[in-house]
Structure 1
């Protein structure tokens, strides 16, 4: 786990278009498992900031798009949207094109740009207010970091792996959400 985390950090500091040559499924599954755990831990470490922001009254999480989704659709439909549809389309849009950028500089720029845009697109989950705009870097930090992690596994393994990682991460979030009895 420590080795995977260190490799991820090095990669995020200097992303390069290099596939991992180890094609062993057990090796890839182990890396995948480590990355999934890193994603979950990242989310858990950032979530107290969101609780504080809501407690201070800066953002009303009742106006989050997931709230509307949960009120409009059944849990199985919400689960399908969050765990199947969103990862499929988001990975095709935000990680799919990464390998088209062959030069070192254009790849690095595109890698960071796609991660940032992936984060920013999730700002649409909030009702846009002055506070939301002011807090944008914090509000999209989890998705931006995840965009980097999903980009890492996409480049190192394949687009399919990033789709599955994204889906598994969303599935864990949804299961926590359903278990807690609220939507976000």
Structure 2
């Protein structure tokens, strides 16, 4: 996993439009699993900041769109929207176009712009207040970083892999939230 992490960090520092030549499904599944674990750990490391933001009274995390959805829709609908619809829709918008930027001069900024836009779109999950807007870079940091990770796997392995990683990432957190409802 350390190798995958180092490869990911090196890529994020200098993203290039180069596919991984190793097409072995076992190799790709292993890298995929490593990226999923790295994605989950990254979010877990960032999440305590949200507790600090909420406990300081700056943002009410209970006003988050997922909280509202959990109260309005059956779990099966939430699961479908978060694990099937959102990854498919968002990957088509934010990752599919990456391979259109063949010129390295344009690819690198496009890669970063799509990752940041992916993060910023998720600010709409919050009730927009001046505090939310001021804290937007922190509040969408997990999604922005995930956008980079998804861009990495999209370029290296293909769009279907970024959709799958996005779906598994969302499924992990949705299932955790469903499990917390049982307690």
Judge same fold: TM > 0.5, yes or no. yes
Q: Paired residues, what number? A: 182
Match of 2:70 in 1: 70
Aligned-partner Cα distance in 2 for 1:150–1:61: 25
Match of 2:135 in 1: 135
CA RMSD of aligned residues (A): 0.8
Cα shift at 1:87? 0.2
Match of 2:31 in 1: 31
Cα shift at 1:181? 1.6
Cα shift at 1:70? 1.0
Aligned-partner Cα distance in 2 for 1:30–1:132: 37
Aligned-partner Cα distance in 2 for 1:137–1:22: 36
Aligned-partner Cα distance in 1 for 2:62–2:138: 18
SS in 1 for 2:47: helix
Aligned-partner Cα distance in 2 for 1:121–1:33: 26
Cα shift at 1:72? 1.2
Match of 2:178 in 1: 178
User: 5 Å matches for 1:97-136?
Assistant: 97-136=97-136
Cα shift at 1:56? 1.0
* Unaligned 5+ runs, structure 2: none
Aligned-partner Cα distance in 1 for 2:61–2:181: 15
Query: Which 4+ residue blocks in structure 1 deviate beyond 6 angstroms?
Result: none
Match of 1:57 in 2: 57
Cα shift at 1:49? 0.5
Cα shift at 1:68? 1.4
